[in-house]
């Protein structure tokens, strides 16, 4: 994953997220926790990230896919 991919991921997810009632935590850091694979070819089509807020989101390589496997 290149630097431009990380920047793209950051720009898409810099929103405040509610955490425990009225306390809000800003998405600041994420770490890749799984690869997202095409089930037929087993090629990486994205990455699953866990944010400092506990939220999980996918960064797609070439657009969203419906039929995937998480590894």
Sign of CA dihedral 13, 1, 59, 5: positive
CA distance 68 to 64: 10
What does each of the 71 residues of the chain score in pLDDT, given as a tens digit? 444 444 444 444 444 455 556 567 888 899 999 999 999 999 999 999 999 999 999 999 999 999 999 99
Residue 25 is predicted with a pLDDT of 80
What pLDDT is stored for residue 67 in this prediction?
94
Q: Encoding tokens for residue 70?
A: 């998480």
Structure confidence at residue 65 (pLDDT) = 93
Dihedral, CA atoms, 51, 54, 55, 58, nearest 10 degrees? 50
pTM of the model: 0.63
């Amino acid at each position: 994953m290149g630097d431009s991919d990380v920047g793209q991921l950051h720009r898409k997810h810099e929103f405040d997220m509610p955490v425990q009632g009225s306390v809000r935590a800003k998405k600041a850091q994420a770490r890749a926790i799984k690869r997202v694979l095409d089930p037929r070819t087993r090629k990486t089509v994205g990455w699953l990230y866990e944010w400092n807020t506990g939220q999980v989101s996918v960064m797609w390589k070439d657009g969203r896919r419906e039929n995937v496997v998480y590894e």
